[in-house]
Chains A and B, each alone.
Chain A
Amino acid sequence: MNVILEFLIISIIFLNYYLLSTTSVRNLIKYAAYQGVIAALMPSFFEFHPSALGFMIALISLKGFVFPWLLIKLSEKYNIKYESKSKLLTPLFTSFLFISVFFLSFYLSYKLNFGSNNFHLLIPGSFITIFTGILIIIIKTKTLSQIVGYIVLENGIYCFGVSAFVKEPFTVEAAILLDIFVALFVMGMAVFHIGKEFNQLEVDSMNELKDTIEIIESKEE
């Protein structure tokens, strides 16, 4: 069982690398969904509680089907295919970011020292996922990518939950899942309204909004 778990952790780590460096919004959504499904499968390789099956199915259907469906529909509606080009999204820079996050997470989990061997590798894996989520929100400028960053962040927290609270991961996770579910719908509505108002979903363009207000103010003076 441990070997399968290791493969799952490695696949989650490499998915993080891909998520950080890809410029295609559709692939970002798709691979974040794969990551969510893999993370959701994880607890069954520790101790399997039959009572948790319903929760796992709910998690897989939400992260694997409902969220991506919603986001891909939004991306098709506003015709968002690729990230806009920026200096932060070059392959070299994202690789550098990923490698530093990789080492930072392993160092942190080494310092934190959560005993037990089984969860040994899951903790750095979850740290990497959390940091990747944050970095996606920071370096990508499309609103949809930032929502995906939020989902990736949640995947990481879930992995951490699995490793730290393996007896009762579901009470913790249920609360987080409710949060993200509500947040995603709020974000989806916000995106919908932003798209309707400005006809584009580029976060960088929001900076210009402030300037126009200043210009108006200066004119009033």
Chain B
Amino acid sequence: MENIIIFLKIIIILFLAPLFLGIINKVKAFFGGREGQSVFQMYYDLFKLFNKGIVYSKTTTLIFRYSPVIIFSLIFFANLMMPSFGMKGLFSFDGDFIFIIYLLGLIRFLIILSAMDCGSSFEGMGASREAWFSVFGELSFFISIIVLSSITGETSLYSMFSKLNLSLWSTNSAVLALILISLFFVLLVESSRVPFDDPNTHLELTMIHEVMILDNSGVDFGFMIYASSLKMWFFASFIANILLPSSNYSFLYGFFAYLISMFFIAVIIGIIESTIARVRLLKVPQLLLGSFSISLVALVFQVFRG
């Protein structure tokens, strides 16, 4: 049974993560009064990119060549470790969230390194921003997980999520709501969505994630955008796991509840992107500081309640 679930998970992660972006774009198009691109546009893009050749600049080294594949496999692995629909991930051990956070840190390190490697000053700028903004994002993520661990009294992701039932939600709803807000900020900043960065603004001086993958082409570029959609799927499924008090229901129920909640998270992101304007670049750290302080308030509250 476990093998089947892992297999199912691999298929879901690989095939539905691009759809997540498609739903967001469809919601944005709906709010803009447009027909919009197809929900499956991302699949077409990936198919096109994977059939293309690669062009490498002469200044690049091995780091630039291998990092897209490594980044993709690392984020895929992180996704596999995330428990979903009430089932364990590929591995589960005490303190596995620290491992996952460092996995994400490694991905960021590789993206920054490969951006610096191609020798363009433009990409160095983006790398600097990524490093700068991720400081607060990572802190909020870490503190949120600590609060979650303190509420449930568990130290592995699977046992945390499985202990989070309705009665726990009703007594700790204030703190949990704060964590959810903070994690949503983290989701938006890590996947470079609207209040922090606009994925549609190619070749602008204020972009963050898009600028770091400018020099990748063909298959490499395909891996990079696939990895960014997987990263979004990872954070969204983290939020979905907190939202679904998953203790004792059947597998099928958990499976569909998970998919529906992922769909709703995509719709919410789409609504946010179409109603809120992008924050000025200099104000981004302030917004991140706000998200950090939200998680900090949650932590102090949780500690103080005992």
Contacts and interface: CB of A to CB of B under 8 A. Distances in A.
Given A3-B170, A3-B171, A106 B300 contact: yes
Contact of A7 (B174, B289, B293, B300): B174
Contact of A124 (B177, B178, B304): B304
B304 A102 contact: no
Interface residues of B, number: 17
Interface in B284-306: 286, 289, 293-294, 296-297, 300-301, 304-305
Contacts of A10: 174, 178, 297, 301
Q: Which among B174, B175, B178, B297 has the greatest number of chain A C-beta atoms within 10 A?
A: B174
A22 interface: no
Contacts of B170: 3
B304 A121 contact: yes
Nearest to A95: B289
Do most interface residues of chain B lie in helix, strand or loop, or is the interface mixed?
helix
Contacts of A120: 304-305
B173 interface: yes
Do most interface residues of chain A lie in helix, strand or loop, or is the interface mixed?
helix
Interface residues of A, number: 19
A121 B171 contact: no
A102 B173 contact: no
Contact of B305 (A92, A98, A99, A121): A121
Interface string A52-81: 000000000000000000000000000000
A20 to B, nearest CB: 12
B289 A106 contact: no
B172 to A, nearest CB: 8
Q: Which among A6, A17, A120 has the greatest number of chain B C-beta atoms within 10 A?
A: A6
Contacts of A121: 301, 304-305
Interface of B: 170-171, 173-175, 177-178, 286, 289, 293-294, 296-297, 300-301, 304-305
6 contacts: A3-B171, A3-B173, A6-B174, A10-B301, A13-B297, A95-B286
Given A7-B173, A102-B297, A121-B304, 6 more contacts: A6-B175, A17-B293, A95-B286, A99-B293, A106-B304, A121-B305
Interface of A: 3, 6-7, 10, 13-14, 17, 91-92, 95, 98-99, 102-103, 106, 110, 120-121, 124
Q: Which 6 A-B pairs have the closest CB atoms?
A: A6-B174, A91-B286, A7-B174, A3-B173, A95-B289, A106-B300
